[in-house]
Every structure is written in C-alpha cells, then in structure tokens.
Amino acid sequence: MTAPAVDGVADVPVVSLRGVRKNFGDLQVLDGIDLDVHAGEAAFVIGPSGSGKSTMLRCVNSLETYQGGQIWVGDYLVGAERKGDRWVEAAPKVTAARRADIGMVFQRFNLFPMMTALDNVVSGMRMVGGVRKQAAERRGMELLDRVGLSARAGFYPSQLSGGQQQRVAIARAIAANPRLVLFDEPTSALDPELVGEVLDVMRDLTREGMTMMVVTHEIAFALEVADSVYFIDHGVVVESGPPSQVIRDPQHARTREFLTRVRNDPHEEP
C-alpha cells in the first residue's frame, strides 16, 4: 500500500516502520508492524483496545523502546545513532533533539498545570528552542488564535474545559513547526459535546498539509479527513489503505467485526 503522493517528494517517507516488534514481558504488543507516512499525509490508526496502536505511536518518538525491526523518521533510526560502522543507543541529548521536531498530543492533554495556556504553548520554544521571550509569545498568541483561544492566554489549565485544554495542547505540539505530529487518542478523555471543537482544529491541520499520525476511535472523522487508514489488531497491521476502502469496504473479517462494534458504541474505552 502506498499513500497518496504529495508534491512528488513523497518517495522518502517521514515515518517508516519495518517489522517493528515490542513485548512487555511475555506479552507481544507489536508483532511486526509495517507502515509508511509521507509528507503532508494524515495517517489514521484504528483498532481494538490493547491492539498496540498507542504503543506503536509512542515508539516513534522514543517514549517506548522497541525490540525488533526498524523505525525511521526521515533520515534517522529511532533510538539509535551511527558511530563509525556500528549502531549504538542514541544519547539522551540526541533523542531530546529528535523529539523536539515531533509534536505529540496526549489523551489526557498533559498540560503543565503551573503554567498559563500561553506559557504552555511557548514552553518548548523557550526552554528547548532558546527563542526570546517576546518572539516566542508573539508566535504563541498566533497559535492560540489558530485554535480559537487567544482570549484564554492567561488562564491556567485548571480553569479551562477539557476541549480547551486539548486545543492548547495541540498549539503546544505544533509550536516548533515539527515535521510530524502524533495524536494519541486526542478525544477519548473528552465529554462528547467537547469532541467537535478538537476535531475542528485537527481538520484545519490536515488541510494545511501537516504530516500526522492519529490513533483514534473516531471512525467517522477518519473517513472524512484521513489520507490513509491502518487497522491494527494483536500487534499487526491487518488491513490498510485509503479510508474509503478500509472503513467503507473492509476486506478482512476482523476489520468488519471491529467497525461494527465501534459504530454501535463509538466511545469504547481503552
């Protein structure tokens, strides 16, 4: 399966997983995952709870380690550095610098509670990027404006609704113009009436051509905005392709069964 080409530079994927395996003790979480995400592509990952999709996403920016296969982001191998003719574990500083170029949005927002919305958004620019306060805050206000929260810049996370917190978290994730943004079930912890405002922001990002990997249970949203959909079960990619195919016309019984179940209960808890 090849994702839709964008600009003709799509031949070098932004993210490329080859035979990725991971286990927690005896439990095989990832059992040989193959996946490619090209520049400008929104790749959606769906699957039952415990299928390994969140773990896979977390491997891409080294929040988890993997035990087999390869994960490439652009030109580097995740978790490793080339030293002469050998691969060695990546130094913490190298891993940190690589992560700075990948945004991540978490299920439970994970905003920094002692910082205002604006300080959260500029935290990466200020503490990692070394951007001057004034420039960072100007860009921070632009980002808050993009997610419709410029009036809330001085608010602390505890004073914001779940949907607002997640929008701030998205602004924080895209602040450093990352080459890729990872979404780990961004709407699963939200009250149903707050899901829409977060999906609106994500829809805008796909329109702007942001490269994204999205783990989600929002099947209707995936059908609407995804460029490609991967159905993962028991640590393997069961089926993948454009959403019109995987969601509208699934070829595998497991995919069909999962989609029926999720449609009956769209807020299946992980």
Partner 1 sequence: MPTMTEPSAVSAIRSRLAADSDIQLHKRWSPRILTGAAAAVVVLVVGILAYTVIAGGTLHWDVVLQYFFSGEVIKGVGVTLLLTGVSLVGSAILGSVLATMRVSHNVVLKVIASAYVWFFRGTPVLVQVVFWFNLALFLPRIAGWDTNQLITPMTAALLALLLNVSAFMCEVIRGGLLSVDPGQVEAALSIGMTPRQSLLRIVMPQAIRVILPAAGNLAIDLLKATSLVYVIGTRELLGTVQSISSQTFYVIEMLIVASLWYLLLVSVASFLQARLEAHFGRGAGRQALSRRERLRRRAIAHTEEKVI
Q: Tell me, what amino acid is at 69? A: G
Nearer to partner 1, 175 or 238 (CB): 175
Q: Write down the least CB distance from residue 231 to partner 1, Å.
A: 26
Locate 100 and state its tokens.
Answer: 């700075």
Nearer to partner 1, 6 or 63 (CB): 63
> First-to-last CA distance in the chain?
28
Q: Write down the least CB distance from residue 110 to partner 1, Å.
A: 4
Angstrom distance (rounded) from CA 175 to CA 116: 15
- Stretch 69-98 residues interacting with partner 1 (CB under 8 A): 92-93, 96-97
Among 77, 115, 141, 223, binds partner 1 (CB under 8 A): 115
Tokens 């995936």 locate to 222
Tokens 């979404």 locate to 183
Among 47, 157, 162, 186, binds partner 1 (CB under 8 A): 157
Among 128, 135, 138, 196, binds partner 1 (CB under 8 A): 128
> Dihedral, CA atoms, 71, 75, 77, 80, nearest 10 degrees?
-160
- Does the footprint of partner 1 cover residue 141 (CB under 8 A)? no
Residues listed for the chain = 270
- Does the footprint of partner 1 cover residue 203 (CB under 8 A)? no
Among 51, 54, 55, 123, binds partner 1 (CB under 8 A): 123
Angstrom distance (rounded) from CA 233 to CA 246: 14
Nearer to partner 1, 139 or 172 (CB): 172
Nearer to partner 1, 6 or 80 (CB): 80
Q: Where are the beta strands (DSSP E) in the chain?
A: 15-24, 27-37, 42-46, 68-73, 76-77, 80-83, 86-89, 102-105, 180-184, 212-215, 228-233, 236-241
Among 129, 141, 194, 254, binds partner 1 (CB under 8 A): 129
- Does the footprint of partner 1 cover residue 220 (CB under 8 A)? no
- Does the footprint of partner 1 cover residue 100 (CB under 8 A)? yes
State how far the alpha carbon of 67 is from the alpha carbons of 13, 76, 261, 264, 267, in Å. Answer: 22, 17, 32, 36, 32
Helix (H) or strand (E) holding 129: none
- Does the footprint of partner 1 cover residue 22 (CB under 8 A)? no
Helix (H) or strand (E) holding 198: helix 192-207
- Does the footprint of partner 1 cover residue 155 (CB under 8 A)? yes
- Does the footprint of partner 1 cover residue 186 (CB under 8 A)? no
- Does the footprint of partner 1 cover residue 114 (CB under 8 A)? yes
Task: Identify which range of 42-50, 125-133, 238-246, 261-269 contacts partner 1 by CB under 8 A.
Answer: 125-133
Among 51, 61, 165, 211, binds partner 1 (CB under 8 A): 61
Buried b (16+ CB within 10 A) or exposed e, 22-31: beeeeebbbb
- Binding residues (CB under 8 A) for partner 1: these are 61-63, 92-93, 96-97, 99-104, 106, 108, 110-116, 123-124, 127-129, 151-152, 154-159, 169, 172-173, 175-176
